[in-house]
Amino acid sequence: MNKYEEISKVIADEIDRNLFAEGDKLPTEKTLAARFQVSRETIRKALKNLIELGKIYNIQGSGYYLRRNGLHMASTLNKFSSITELIQNANLTEGDIEVQIFKRKPNDEEIGMLNINKQDSMFILERIRTANGESIVYSRNILPQSIVGQDFAEYYEPGSLSKYLELKYGIYIVESLMEIQAVREEDVLPYRLKLSDPPLLKFIQVHYDDKANPIYISYDYMRNDLIRFYVRRT
């Protein structure tokens, strides 16, 4: 067994014996290197091994933290990333359940956000995103039929909507304009999330392609007990 494997085993045993609380931050690389009398490079290998084992996760610029019940995701708000990337970066398996797709006319707010006219038809994609089978996000995506065509509902594939648009239509989503809100009483949520009554954050985004065209709107209700968001401030 390599030295870094020995160190990761010691730390994993301490985690299993509840010497750390869920969400606790681990000591710094420098502190761990001094404790085990090894280089920081060896400590980095040990910590990487613990990440692969699902014991901890890393927030760049902040440190290493214990996972919450083995199901915890973290993301920075400094750059654009999809829910699929959020799940996969945590070494979890994504899924879609309770998928519904239907059409309607746009409302005044959507007309302004997407720069379309009131005669356009809109596809509404509603689904619950899961990580390792656990419901983590309720998503509602609003796309103009003029962009995805009238057969969108027939050919849509589960997973990352941004990636689907790229592969199917050659549309590259590169940025979004985001607003974060508290969930309100009038927000309609699926029974599955209401039943567990988790803390939720509401993300409203307009997604733009590489030509700065607004492509679709997303309303994402994310479980804040399982997903944490960070902003680097300088």
Report d(CA 71, CA 91) in Å as an integer: 10
Q: Is the pLDDT of residue 71 over 80?
A: no
CB-based contact 209:173 (threshold 8 Å)? yes
Residue 39 has a pLDDT of 95
Say which DSSP state 25 is in.
B
Region of residue 170 (phi > 0: left; psi between -120 and 50: alpha; otherwise: beta): left
Residues facing residue 65 across a β-bridge: 25, 57
pLDDT for 25 beyond 90: no
Residue closest to 74 by CA, chosen among 222, 178, 233, 234: 222
| Residue 107, helix vs strand vs coil | coil
Average pLDDT of the chain is: 88
Q: DSSP letters along 154-172, please?
A: HH--SS-HHHHHHHHH---
> Angle at the Cα of 148 (from 144 to 149), degrees rounded to 5?
100
CA atoms of 169 and 121, how far apart (whole Å): 18
What CATH code is assigned to 75-230?
A: 3.40.1410.10
Q: Is the pLDDT of residue 134 over 90?
A: no
- Looking at residue 178, its pLDDT comes to 94
How far apart CA 211 and CA 47 sit, in angstroms, is 40
Q: What DSSP line would sit under 64-96, residue for residue?
A: EEE-STT--EEEESSS---HHHHHHHTT--EEE
- Confidence check: pLDDT of 164 > 90: yes
CATH topology of domain 3-66: Arc Repressor Mutant, subunit A (1.10.10)
Counting every residue written for the chain, the total comes to 234
- Radius of gyration of the chain from Cα atoms? 21
Query: 5-23 burial by CB neighbour count: b if 16+ within 10 A, else e?
Result: eebbeebbeebeeeebeee
User: What's the pLDDT score for residue 233?
Assistant: 78
pLDDT for 215 beyond 90: yes
Residue 195: what pLDDT? 54
User: Six-digit token pair at 56?
Assistant: 């901890």
User: What is the average pLDDT across 158-168?
Assistant: 94
Q: What are the extents of the domains in the chain?
A: 3-66, 75-230
pLDDT interval class at 177 (50, 70, 90): very high
pLDDT at residue 101 tops 90? yes
Tens of pLDDT, residues 80-90: 888 998 888 88
Average pLDDT over residues 9-37: 86
Selection from 187, 185, 225 nearest residue 204 by Cα: 187
